[in-house]
Amino acid sequence: MAIKFNTFENSKVEFANAMKDGDEAQQSEAMQNMLDALAKDVQGDILNQVNMDVTDRSVMQARGSNVLTNEESKFFNAVIEDGGFNDEETLPKTTQERVFEDLVNEHPLLQKLGIQNLGAVTEFIHSDPEGAAVWGPLFGDIQGQLNATFRKETITQLKLTAFIPISNDMLDLGPAWVERYVRTMLVEAMSAGLERGFVAGDGRNQPVGLLYEVDEETSAITEKASAGTLTFEGGDTTIEELKGVVELLSTVPAKGADGEDKVRNVAGKVVMVVNPFDNFSIQAKATVRNDAGLYITSLPFNPQIVESVHVPQGKTVFFVQGQYIAAVGGSQQMKKFDQTLAMEDATLYIAKQYATGKPVDNYAAQVYDLAISGGGVEG
């Protein structure tokens, strides 16, 4: 059952702004405020549901309430008896799987990026389908270079840490509610970190985000230059603007002097990530009233629009689904945080998750400035 947040969404915006423009003290304070807001919203939602006094197990399950497995019940009952998590305690596998399912189902951007859950695995093979199978003479040499089409990616080098404050009062509600609280806190804290990394990560102990690119010769990571300006003025203007976007995403320039450009199939795979503020202006430009008097919102070439507070206002980034490597792996462990934070009547834990993310190549994502009359600001 989805939670309706009251103050958490605003605190996420403040966190994003602090991570972009603030100093270390401001970033720490913004993170603290975001955690406090998240904890209060989740606790309030759970307490409201507890007060509904729904006792029938089947009814609870039909309404979206938790029904734990035997392993989960045993684990979270032990957490309650011990007054919290013990040091370096690993969550049940089924709970970890539900955390990932909620990450994907409740966060459109992570879903569009195609984030993978590798479980305990921390390495995986990424392949380019073109070149994996190569034609040649029946009795000739084996053709192709498989090492050029298959490469190993590791996710052990990047670690995402989520802070989970657990109110002491929550332990009195029973294992099902404690599990839901921990799972929800993990999902929202991790999604905030993953989204920031996958969009605005600069590659320094974090993913290479959609807004950045890697120099193929020097491996230097820099912000992507704007590929142009979009106005969404309607009619032929919008058609030509988005035609240019789709053409650019579908072309991978050849590396060799005598090679040909590679054409990438992007039909139905183009995703447009915008700041929530700018999305209103874009939707307004794309909305028309038909002959029946109904308002219809549509853009040429049907880009899938998702929002992210980590895309700067006045800019938008397009990417091709399936052309960004996003993965989490390793087991999730809960560990008591022994440093003091502004938490009253609560214990703070940290949950560590290995993760990685980067575009397949520098052409799989493109950044554009927005110049929308009467709405968005020019980047």
| pLDDT per residue rounded down to tens, the chain (379 residues) | 566 677 888 888 888 888 877 788 888 888 878 878 888 888 788 777 766 554 455 555 555 556 788 888 888 888 888 888 877 778 888 888 888 888 888 899 999 999 988 765 556 565 555 544 555 555 555 444 444 455 566 655 577 888 787 877 778 888 888 888 888 888 888 888 899 999 999 988 889 999 999 988 888 999 999 999 999 997 899 999 999 999 999 988 866 455 677 888 899 999 999 999 999 999 999 888 888 888 888 899 999 999 999 999 999 999 999 999 898 877 777 877 766 554 566 777 788 888 888 898 899 999 999 999 865 444 3
The span from the CA of 190 to the CA of 231, in Å, is 34
Same-domain status, 309 and 335? no
| Burial class of 249 by CB neighbour count within 10 A (0 to 12, 13 to 18, 19+) | buried
Same-domain status, 176 and 276? no
Structure tokens at 158: 């990047």
The pLDDT score that the predictor gives to residue 143 is 47
Same-domain status, 121 and 254? no
The pLDDT score that the predictor gives to residue 282 is 92
The answer to whether position 309 is within a domain reads: yes
Same-domain status, 301 and 313? yes
Same-domain status, 247 and 126? no
Q: Which amino acid is at 188?
A: E
Report yes or no on whether pTM surpasses 0.75.
yes
Q: Which domain covers residue 38, as residue numbers?
A: 8-130+148-209+331-357
Helix (H, G, I), strand (E, B) or coil at 246: helix
Same-domain status, 183 and 231? no
The span from the CA of 245 to the CA of 231, in Å, is 13
Structure tokens at 59: 């009814």
Same-domain status, 195 and 116? yes
Same-domain status, 153 and 197? yes
Number of independent structural domains in the chain: 2
Nearest to 221 by CA among 232, 236, 209: 209
Within 8 A by CB and 6+ apart from 131, the residues are 144, 145, 146, 148, 149
CA 219 from centre of chain: 24
**E strand spans, 109-158:** 116-117, 123-127, 150-154
The answer to whether position 88 is within a domain reads: yes
The answer to whether position 258 is within a domain reads: yes
**Which alpha helices (DSSP H) does the chain contain, by range?**
8-21, 24-50, 57-62, 70-81, 93-106, 108-113, 146-149, 175-200, 235-249, 276-285
